C-alpha cells in the first residue's frame, strides 16, 4: 500500500518543518507518494490565486493532506486563513480538530512542579461550526439587509438579515452556528476517543451561561451522547474557568471537547503547558474522508529560511496522520523516536534551549526511527 499525500508546505517556516516531517515519515517504513501544491502567500501574491477548485478536485483523490503553515505579513489578515486553511477544513468536512496535549520527558514545562505524568490529555475541537462559519456584516446605515449563506456537508443555511439601526454610528455582527448533528458528531468522536485511549473522563467546555442559544444546544447534545457511554465520567466547564484549571490542575483532564472558537483558544494554552508551540500537533479529521495534519503553530515569518524552527510539532502531526491512515505501528515508532530524542536532549532547537537546526532535529528523529525500528 502506497499512500497518496497532498503536501501544502505553505508560508514562512512551513516548507522547512514539512521537509523534516516527510524525512521522518519516509524513515518509518510506510510507503508514500507525495504530491506538492504551491498554495500560500507567495503563490497568491504572484498569481492572485488562493486555492482553485481544480486543486480541491485533485486533492480529493489523495488519502490525506500534510500542511506546513499559512500566513504572511504582506497579505491582509484573514485572506489566507479563510480562503485556504478554513476552506480546506470545510470543503473536506474535517469536523474534528484533534489536538493532543502531551508533555514529553525532558521538555521544560512552564508550570511549577508539573511533569509528563501531569500533562497528557486530548482536546477535541469541533472544526466546522460556531463563530468560524464566516457569516456576518458591518454597516453604518439606518437600514441594513443581507442574505448570509452557509454550505456544509450536513446542511445549507440561509439567514435573511434585516436590521433597523436607530442611532448607532456603526454596527458589526457575526453569527455563530451550532447544529444538533454538527455537535453530535464531534462529541461522539470525543467519547469514542476516550474509549479507545482508555481515558475515563470527558469534559465539555463552553460558555452556556452567556451564549445560551448556541452553547445551550451544545450542552444538551453533550448530555444525550454521554448517556450512551455510562462507563465514562462527564463534566461541564466554562471556558474561562478551564484556562485557570489547565494551569493549576492539568492532571485532571483526559479528553476535553469544545466548540470551534474556544477550542482554538484553549489549545494555544495547551501547547504552552506541553512545552511550547514547537511541540503541538493537530489533525483536522473527517473519519470517513480526507483528513489534514498540521502543526498548530503559524508560519513564523521572521524565522523563515533560517533552519531554526522546531519541526517536532510537524513530525508529531505526521504521527497523527499515520494513526488516521491505520498505520498504528509506524505511528508509535515515530512518537517513540521523538521521545528518545527529547529525552537525550542533545539535539534540540532554540525554543527548547538548544542550538540545533531544524534539519538536525529531523535527522535525529529519522535516525532514531531507523534505530528503534530495526
Judged by the rule CB under 6 A, the positions of this chain that interact with ligand IPM are 81, 85-86, 264, 296
Stretch that binds Mn ion, among 186-194, 225-233, 258-266, 287-295 (CB under 5 A): 258-266
Nearer to ligand IPM, 85 or 300 (CB): 85
Provide, rounded to whole angstroms, the least separation between the CB of residue 70 and Mn ion.
12
Instruction: Measure the CA–CA gap between 328 and 166, rounded to whole angstroms.
Output: 60
Instruction: Measure the CA–CA gap between 178 and 65, rounded to whole angstroms.
Output: 26
Report residue 85 CA to chain centroid gap: 11
Q: CA nearest 216: which of 185, 180, 267, 253? A: 180
Nearer to ligand IPM, 129 or 264 (CB): 264
Nearer to ligand IPM, 11 or 20 (CB): 11
Provide, rounded to whole angstroms, the least separation between the CB of residue 259 and ligand IPM.
12
Residue sitting closest to ligand IPM (CB) = 81
- For residue 74, the tally of other CB atoms under 10 A from its CB is 10
Instruction: Give the SS3 label for residue 205.
Output: strand
Stretch that binds Mn ion, among 35-43, 182-190, 260-268, 325-333 (CB under 5 A): 260-268
Nearer to Mn ion, 278 or 362 (CB): 278
Question: Which of ligand IPM, Mn ion, none binds 337 (CB below 5-8 Å, type-dependent)?
Answer: none
Provide, rounded to whole angstroms, the least separation between the CB of residue 281 and ligand IPM.
11
Nearer to ligand IPM, 10 or 15 (CB): 10
DSSP conformational letter for 301: G
Query: Residue 67: beta bridge partners?
Result: 8
Question: Which of ligand IPM, Mn ion, none binds 63 (CB below 5-8 Å, type-dependent)?
Answer: none
Question: Which of ligand IPM, Mn ion, none binds 81 (CB below 5-8 Å, type-dependent)?
Answer: ligand IPM
Provide, rounded to whole angstroms, the least separation between the CB of residue 264 and Mn ion.
4
Asked if 264 interacts with Mn ion (CB under 5 A), we say yes
Residue sitting closest to Mn ion (CB) = 264
Asked if 351 interacts with Mn ion (CB under 5 A), we say no
- Cβ atoms of 55 and 36 within 8 Å: the answer is no
| Burial bucket for residue 42 (CB in 10 Å: 0-12, 13-18, 19+) | middle
Asked if 126 interacts with Mn ion (CB under 5 A), we say no
- Cβ atoms of 140 and 170 within 8 Å: the answer is yes
Nearer to Mn ion, 161 or 269 (CB): 269
DSSP conformational letter for 251: G
Question: How many helical (H) and strand (E) elements, i.e. helices and strands, does the chain have?
Answer: 12, 14
Nearer to ligand IPM, 125 or 308 (CB): 125
Q: CA nearest 104: which of 318, 334, 363, 360? A: 334
Provide, rounded to whole angstroms, the least separation between the CB of residue 298 and ligand IPM.
7
Question: Which of Mn ion, ligand IPM, none binds 85 (CB below 5-8 Å, type-dependent)?
Answer: ligand IPM
Q: What is the DSSP string of 88-152?
A: HHHHTT--EEEEEEEPPTT---SSTT--TTT-EEEEEEE-SSEEEEEEEEEE-SSEEEEEEEEE-
Q: Which three cell numbers stand for residue 73?
A: 505579513
Provide, rounded to whole angstroms, the least separation between the CB of residue 134 and ligand IPM.
11
Provide, rounded to whole angstroms, the least separation between the CB of residue 264 and ligand IPM.
4
- Cβ atoms of 344 and 354 within 8 Å: the answer is no
Stretch that binds Mn ion, among 60-68, 144-152, 212-220, 259-267 (CB under 5 A): 259-267
DSSP conformational letter for 167: S
Nearer to ligand IPM, 93 or 264 (CB): 264
Q: Which three cell numbers stand for residue 267?
A: 489549545
Query: Residue 32: beta bridge partners?
Result: 3
Residue ranges that bind Mn ion, judged by CB under 5 A: 264
Amino acid at each position: 500500500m502506497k499512500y497518496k499525500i497532498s503536501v501544502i508546505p505553505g508560508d514562512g517556516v512551513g516548507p522547512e518543518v514539512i521537509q523534516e516531517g516527510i524525512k521522518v515519515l519516509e524513515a518509518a517504513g510506510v510507503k508514500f507518494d507525495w504530491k506538492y501544491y504551491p498554495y500560500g502567500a507567495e503563490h497568491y501574491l504572484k498569481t492572485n490565486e488562493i486555492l482553485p477548485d481544480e486543486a480541491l478536485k485533485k486533492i480529493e483523490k489523495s488519502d490525506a493532506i500534510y500542511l506546513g503553515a499559512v500566513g504572511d505579513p504582506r497579505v491582509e489578515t484573514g485572506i489566507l486563513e479563510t480562503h485556504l486553511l478554513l476552506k480546506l477544513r470545510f470543503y473536506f468536512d474535517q469536523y474534528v480538530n484533534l489536538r493532543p496535549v502531551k508533555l514529553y520527558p525532558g521538555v521544560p514545562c512552564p508550570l511549577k512542579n508539573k511533569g509528563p505524568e501531569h500533562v497528557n490529555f486530548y482536546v477535541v475541537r469541533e472544526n466546522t461550526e460556531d463563530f468560524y462559519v464566516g457569516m456576518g456584516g458591518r454597516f453604518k446605515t439606518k437600514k441594513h439587509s443581507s442574505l448570509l449563506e452557509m454550505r456544509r456537508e450536513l446542511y445549507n443555511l440561509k439567514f435573511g438579515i434585516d436590521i433597523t439601526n436607530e442611532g448607532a454610528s456603526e454596527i458589526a455582527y457575526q453569527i455563530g452556528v451550532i447544529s444538533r448533528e454538527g455537535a453530535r458528531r464531534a462529541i461522539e468522536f470525543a467519547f469514542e476517543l476516550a474509549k479507545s485511549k482508555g481515558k475515563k473522563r470527558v469534559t465539555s467546555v463552553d460558555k452556556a451561561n452567556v451564549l445560551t442559544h448556541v452553547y445551550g444546544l451544545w450542552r444538551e447534545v453533550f448530555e444525550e451522547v454521554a448517556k450512551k457511554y455510562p462507563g465514562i465520567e462527564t463534566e461541564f466547564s466554562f471556558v474561562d474557568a478551564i484556562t485557570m484549571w489547565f494551569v493549576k490542575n492539568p492532571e485532571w483532564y483526559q479528553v476535553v471537547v469544545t466548540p470551534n472558537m474556544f477550542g482554538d483558544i484553549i489549545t494555544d494554552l495547551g501547547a504552552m503547558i506541553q512545552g511550547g508551540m514547537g511541540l503541538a500537533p493537530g489533525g483536522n479529521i473527517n473519519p470517513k474522508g480526507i483528513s489534514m495534519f498540521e502543526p498548530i503553530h503559524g508560519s513564523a515569518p521572521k524565522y523563515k529560511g533560517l533552519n531554526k524552527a522546531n519541526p517536532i510539532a510537524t513530525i508529531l502531526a505526521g504521527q497523527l496522520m499515520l494513526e488516521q491512515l491505520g498505520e498504528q505501528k509506524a505511528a508509535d515508532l515515530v512518537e517513540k523516536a521523538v521521545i528518545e530524542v527529547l529525552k537525550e536532549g542533545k539535539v534540540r532547537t532554540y525554543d527548547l534551549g538548544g542550538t540545533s537546526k531544524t534539519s538536525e532535529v529531523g535527522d535525529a528523529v529519522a535516525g532514531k526511527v531507523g534505530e528503534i525500528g530495526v
